[in-house]
Structure 1
Amino acid sequence: MTSRRAVLSAAVDRLRGAGVASPEHDAAELLAHALGTTRSRLPLVDTVPDDALGEYDALIARRAAREPLQHLTGTAYFRHVELAVGPGVFVPRPETELLAGWAVEQAVSTTGRAPVVVDLCTGSGAVAKAIADEVPAASVHAVELDEAALPWAERNLSGTGVDLREGDMATAFDDLAGTVDVLTCNPPYIPLDAWESVAPEARDHDPHLALFSGADGLDAIRVLERRAALLLRPGGVVGFEHADAQGESAPAVFSATGRWTDVRDHADLAGRARFTTARLAR
């Protein structure tokens, strides 16, 4: 057996040396996972048994190789819900919780009837599940194209009442045309030539279909604009995430068509441009 402090200290040093952005957090999460406990209860652990130490060393080696933390634990937390994640599906980021929160507020503000919400490019189902959890009266619909990601969405949305479909965001939900109150999307938005700038956790492990979108990163957002205009009712709203460098170019895709009012961009908690919202003109 080895002391918890010594085990954690060595793991933090190894992760920091590998360029992991949050070595203390990740080392603690992985130790809790190896011990079958939670990070908040780690201070109650004095020593690490040899069998858990072997498992922990293997997990730290994989994290040092920049395998996503959530792939190692099999779990991601998003607002108030827990998600199963792993190879083949985009790991939801904390920044996207802001988009989901905006969508929840918009859905709650719908009066007189149950709001109709659509989530395009649902991936793991994170946004759709969060909305269904926080607005149980909403009729929530989600779509995913990637055959590898779809089983993760099926697993996460099972029992939530969300209408999950396999399909392309460009052609999904013809049956809902003109009836949707709130539409959300976390589309691919990284320019193809930005490959080298993407963190290894995303570049090497997230599906490329969820990351890259043409020469300027806006191809999927252009498709989204056209689809949102078809699906939303007059006065309905759309919100979508984008790269921090697209704080002007992403909203411009919507502003340029003349179909939208109240086109606004929103910053994340670090002050970086993060998502755009717009309202379909009446």
Structure 2
Amino acid sequence: MTSLRTEVDQAVAVLTGADVPSPRADALLLAAHAIGADRSEIERRMVLGGGVEPDELRRLRALVAERAARVPLQHLTGTAPFRRLELQVGPGVFVPRPETEAVVDLALQGLVGPGGTDGTSTPTVVDLCTGSGALALAVADEVPGAHVTAVEVSELALAWAARNIEVTGLAVDLVAADATTPAAGVPELAGLVGRVDLVVSNPPYIPAGMVPLEPEVAEHDPAVALYGGSEDGLAIPLAVAATAAALLRPGGLLVMEHADSQGQTLPRALAATGEWVDVVDHPDLSGRPRATVARRAP
């Protein structure tokens, strides 16, 4: 029987040679997936000198080869951690990133801060461009009783979001619609116009013609979830913000993720519309500009 430690060390070497950003962590997670154990169990078996069964070995080596070809780790394991959730992901849906978790923090702060709900009423929340459902589900998970609606235009992403809603058992209404379409023209959203407390969004925002450096993003994330529709990448985010402005009550909150190059341009563009006040940009945990928070003007 092949040594598990030897096999994991070999996987680390292969992934390092392929310039995978986190080779050891990925090797351990792939081993866990191939063997059907969690990462801590894999590390325990390595310490104790455990081995790998032949069928497990074949699965692990096949997974390592795909990861070395820069297939996203989450596509290989079928899951992506997000906040307190484990979301199902795969081809056709944007894989949620750790930095997007900061959007949830800002949203939660806004719900209980000045201008938020009174702490006893149940907030109404809409996630525009929901993708896998990450933001909507995180809010539903961490704000019990919230009325959460998730909006997505891609049929493939809708299928993943529906699966995650089912698997988590969280109360989220899923709407098939273009988030840049005026809300009054979408039957499922028309009744929410002017009544929403919080809109969260991670819209497509990469400037046109700019190809992401990471093969996992450029070759596997769907283009509809990436590109912002203009040279500055703000055409779609601003159209989504206009939908948000129609949905929100006066004083309602918008939290929108953006590219780190848009930390000044997005807030400035939002303020210029006259629909927003208290427009402030916020960094992620690495200090890079990540999300803009704005309140709907009275």
Normalised to the residue count of structure 1, the TM-score between the two structures is 0.96
1:125 is aligned to 2:133: yes
| Comparing 109-118 and 245-254, the one that deviates more | 109-118
Spell out the pairing of 1:206-225 with structure 2 (5 A cutoff): 206-213=221-228, 214-225=230-241
Structure 2 residue runs without a partner (length 5+): 184-188
3-state SS of 2:206 partner? coil
Which residue pairs with 2:214 in the alignment? 199
Q: What is the distance in 2 between the residues matched to 1:237 and 1:27?
A: 41
Q: What is the distance in 2 between the residues matched to 1:150 and 1:207?
A: 13
Spell out the pairing of 1:26-65 with structure 2 (5 A cutoff): 26-45=26-45, 46-65=50-69
1:80 is aligned to 2:84: yes
Which residue pairs with 1:110 in the alignment? 117
Runs of 4+ in 1 over 4 A off after TM superposition: none
**What's the % identity of the aligned pairs?**
53
3-state SS of 1:83 partner? strand
Q: What is the distance in 1 between the residues matched to 2:294 and 2:143?
A: 21
Displacement of 1:258: 2.1
Which residue pairs with 2:204 in the alignment? 188
Picking from 273, 278, 287, the partner of 1:257 is: 273
Q: What is the distance in 1 between the residues matched to 2:82 and 2:111?
A: 18
Q: What is the distance in 2 between the residues matched to 1:17 and 1:252?
A: 43
1:6 is aligned to 2:25: no
Q: What is the distance in 2 between the residues matched to 1:252 and 1:17?
A: 43
Q: What is the distance in 1 between the residues matched to 2:246 and 2:175?
A: 18
| Backbone CA RMSD of aligned residues | 1.2
Displacement of 1:223: 0.2
Task: Tell me if the contact between 1:117 and 1:139 (Cα under 8 Å) persists in the aligned partners.
Answer: yes
Task: Tell me if the contact between 1:114 and 1:137 (Cα under 8 Å) persists in the aligned partners.
Answer: yes
Which residue pairs with 1:155 in the alignment? 163
Which residue pairs with 1:25 in the alignment? 25
Task: Tell me if the contact between 1:178 and 1:234 (Cα under 8 Å) persists in the aligned partners.
Answer: yes
Q: What is the distance in 2 between the residues matched to 1:136 and 1:123?
A: 22
3-state SS of 1:160 partner? coil
3-state SS of 1:202 partner? helix
Displacement of 1:101: 1.9
Q: What is the distance in 2 between the residues matched to 1:228 and 1:43?
A: 46
Which residue pairs with 2:176 in the alignment? 166
Q: What is the distance in 1 between the residues matched to 2:271 and 2:155?
A: 33
Amino acid at match of 1:135: V
Displacement of 1:43: 2.3
3-state SS of 1:95 partner? helix
Which residue pairs with 1:70 in the alignment? 74
Picking from 90, 96, 108, the partner of 1:92 is: 96
Spell out the pairing of 1:221-240 with structure 2 (5 A cutoff): 221-240=237-256
Displacement of 1:274: 0.6
| Comparing 102-111 and 81-90, the one that deviates more | 102-111
1:140 is aligned to 2:155: no
